[in-house]
Structure 1
Amino acid sequence: MSKKSRLSWFANDDLSITILSLLPSKILHHLKLVSKDWLNLICDRTFITAQLKKTEPVSGFFYQEVFQFTTTENKQSISYIPADVQNSKIWPDVLGFLPEYVVVLSLDNGLLCCRNCFPTSRPKIYVCNPLRKQWATVEWPKNYDVSRDSIISLSFDPFRDPIDKSTNFQLVAVSEIGKGDEDGNISEYWILFDIYSSETGSWRRSNECCVSKHGLVRNKKVILRGVSFWLTEGYGVLMFDIKNELSWLVSGPLPLDEFAGVPEMCLGESGGKLHYVVVCGNGLQLWALEDHFEPTWELRVNVPLDILEKKNPDSLYKLSDNMACGLAPAWMTPLAFKDGKLLVRVSVKMYLYEFETGRMKKLCNVSTLGPTAIFSPIVVPYAMSLVPLE
């Protein structure tokens, strides 16, 4: 076959392109090494747009320990935990391609949003594709505090904003202004939103303002189809629609006093809907938000602790007794959920729980993730993407 024929082979074989576009990003990333033709095809924006139609499985979790009682952030605290239980190797330096050490902020459709470590004289935000090792740098918003408690979310929706010519994304920086009562206690929070657009390369303050009795839990968030969701300290959810610049508060699935003991929870996404995972004395519960405005929560799964232990005798021992002790940190904590898979810490071990089978599989010991990895970590589920950031 001549060189010219080989170069035009893909262009004339729609069936081959269709078949390749059905493969997951991880496999396609390795297939780029087959030949220059394959490299050109797999890196082509038209092909990537077609491949995005396939739902990517969860490949793993970015896990970052948080040092709460020091002024300097740990610069080597990010680990990658593969969701493949056959490969339990923990990757400690997956973001080493970035120009400096970072703190993970959020993730959406395969792109990861981070900031540089504090203290620093030049705060920056990085939006990167870990698979392709590409990134874009965003300057810190001028009217936004330089704080370790920064709440910044990435919104990247290739279906609403096609990537055939360029990769466009938006960022939302949330400001919480506490309002005190006569006794000096914070009685409510005014929540403001700054929006960045990669198309304009600039930040602007939204006119939207939300008033909440509770602050936000900065490391418990989900971005879904252009809407950011944050868990509040009152166990509710704050939502912000970046396209329409609308925010609203949604109460949790149940009042707090209906849970047995102190609940541990996280937010997640499955089937295009927001999910709310709860672990408490009642068991393991999975709720789906069916209607944002009512709000209407549907209980999808409810597994009592004794049934959970019976199905996983090698992973769970005297679960009810240990949960009832009320120790801090909690004996069992859900950390991240996506597409039916839950990353959960039980005592000093990390497990992957699959709701479909009801089985737990050990991934690693918490100690392999860092000396303080057990306390309020930043965890985001990751599905690979071929989307370029050039």
Structure 2
Amino acid sequence: MKELWFASNEIPIDVLSRLPTKTLLGLKCVSKEWHHLISDRSFIRVQLKKTQPVSGFFFQQRFQWCNDDIESISYIPVKMEGARVQSTVLNFLPEGVVILAASNGLICCRSCFSSPHPVIYVCNPSNKELVCLQWPTPNKHDSLALAFDPFRDPVDVSTNFEVVRVHQTLTGMEDSWFSFDIYSSKTGTWRRSKEICQCDHNLFKNKGISIGWVLYWLTDGDQVLMFDLEEELSWLVRVPILATEFNSIPEMCIGESEGQLHYVLISEDGLQLWVLEDYLESKWALKYFIALNDMEEENSELVCNIQQRVASRMTIDMIPWMDPLAFKDGLLLIRVSAKIFLYYFETRKMEELCSLSVLGSNSMFSPIVLPYSMSLVPLGPAIG
């Protein structure tokens, strides 16, 4: 590659690396030299060390009563001043997909099952690069998680990641267990882990959270499924409060902040945020609590009568009035009735982002929602 015109001067690199990823993507057009710098893997490694805030959330509808895939995917920017929900962010992919996981700027998704030959994609929406992974035994009910740590395997050398497929096996005796298939970008191959996890519950909200090389999935049975990629060990972590302790049916989701697993719970008692301290003992610490009446008083121009409406949900088939969709770095994407809000735990304020009508007619029923932080990370061609 042509030698960079300011390679001997660290000041421009230090200054540019402090800028947000979105700004840097625009600066690529300034000149060939700036394009070379911002695309250089060594520069990207430096820029990744700066904290990358959540830039938005991917949102995909799901049907309530059938298993067909819905191809349309919306992107909801966090900063909505003058911005709109976008529907073409993933149009660079060669076919319609279902999004399933995100990690450090990369997205993992699979073909919609209208495709005759379903595959798995790992892509970077910011630079529109992708890797296509062959899927030996496609199953639309399997869940995928993506593990990508640009500091464990330096991104200035190559972009290495692993994809974990979780498969649930059911027996006639009503017993079930999860098995784990692992794809490594280093080898370009899949392999079956020897680890299995006996569990009588289903994965809930169908997305995996990666924290370093540990993956988590929420289940519908008061447990979180954990899989340690390095040790290839699985574990069931009990949630901090069982659903049976409430008079009405609570809603929950999991997410990551400051390198720790967090559990968000909404019930008639209020909004709670728990952090996992010890997975072996299922030890959680309550990090945040606010009563729904206080939440309403502090955001009275946006919501009303939420405590009564949340408490009125008494059966599973009732659509919850408030539904926590995704959590990342102190930000909670939450549906309240027919609108999508962002709740800032630090300031206790809500911001209205959009209405469900913008996201599609099936956006009410357990959508797939992924927090996303923009990244410059490049992806090479698929191996093998």
**What TM-score range do you get, normalising by the shorter chain?**
over 0.9
Deviation at 1:94, TM superposition (A): 0.7
Match of 2:185 in 1: 198
1-side partners of 2:143 and 2:255: how far apart? 17
| Matching of residues 204-215 of structure 1 within 5 Å | 204-215=191-202
Name the SS for the 1:158 alignment partner: coil
2-side partners of 1:88 and 1:281: how far apart? 34
- Residue 115 (str. 1) matches residue 103 (str. 2): no
- Residue 239 (str. 1) matches residue 235 (str. 2): no
Match of 1:315 in 2: 302
Q: Which ranges in structure 1 are unaligned for 5 or more consecutive residues?
A: none
Name the SS for the 2:92 alignment partner: coil
1-side partners of 2:198 and 2:205: how far apart? 17
1:258-298, CA deviations, whole angstroms, 9 ceiling, x for partnerless residues?
Answer: 23421100001111100000000010000001122222101
Deviation at 1:70, TM superposition (A): 4.1
2-side partners of 1:219 and 1:371: how far apart? 20
1:129 is matched with which residue: 124, 130, 134?
A: 124
1:301 is matched with which residue: 288, 291, 301?
A: 288
1-side partners of 2:202 and 2:68: how far apart? 24
Match of 2:27 in 1: 31
Report how many aligned residue pairs link the two structures: 376
Match of 1:86 in 2: 81
Name the SS for the 2:287 alignment partner: strand
| Matching of residues 166-185 of structure 1 within 5 Å | 166-181=158-173
Given the two structures, how large is their TM-score scaled by the length of structure 2? 0.95
Segments of 4+ moved more than 3 angstroms: 68-72
1:315-342, CA deviations, whole angstroms, 9 ceiling, x for partnerless residues?
Answer: 1111111112217210000000000011
Deviation at 1:8, TM superposition (A): 4.5
Q: Which moved more, 1:78-87 or 1:211-220?
A: 211-220
1:83-117, CA deviations, whole angstroms, 9 ceiling, x for partnerless residues?
Answer: 00314401011100011111101001100001111
Q: Which moved more, 1:283-292 or 1:253-262?
A: 253-262
2:274 is matched with which residue: 287, 310, 328?
A: 287
Name the SS for the 1:180 alignment partner: coil
The letter for the 2-side match of 1:248 is: W
2-side partners of 1:180 and 1:88: how far apart? 52
- Residue 56 (str. 1) matches residue 52 (str. 2): yes
1-side partners of 2:60 and 2:67: how far apart? 17
Deviation at 1:21, TM superposition (A): 1.1
Identity percentage of aligned residues: 50
2-side partners of 1:130 and 1:378: how far apart? 17
- Residue 222 (str. 1) matches residue 212 (str. 2): no
1-side partners of 2:215 and 2:26: how far apart? 32
Q: Which ranges in structure 2 are unaligned for 5 or more consecutive residues?
A: none
2-side partners of 1:320 and 1:243: how far apart? 43
2:369 is matched with which residue: 349, 354, 379?
A: 379
Is the contact made by 2:262 and 2:276 (CA closer than 8 Å) also made in structure 1? yes
The letter for the 2-side match of 1:147 is: N
Name the SS for the 1:329 alignment partner: coil
Q: Which moved more, 1:359-368 or 1:260-269?
A: 260-269
The letter for the 1-side match of 2:121 is: Y
Match of 1:11 in 2: 7
2-side partners of 1:195 and 1:84: how far apart? 36
Is the contact made by 2:205 and 2:367 (CA closer than 8 Å) also made in structure 1? no
The letter for the 2-side match of 1:343 is: L
- Residue 69 (str. 1) matches residue 59 (str. 2): no
- Residue 160 (str. 1) matches residue 152 (str. 2): yes
Match of 1:332 in 2: 322
Deviation at 1:162, TM superposition (A): 1.1
2-side partners of 1:18 and 1:388: how far apart? 20
> What do you get for the CA RMSD once the two structures are aligned?
1.5
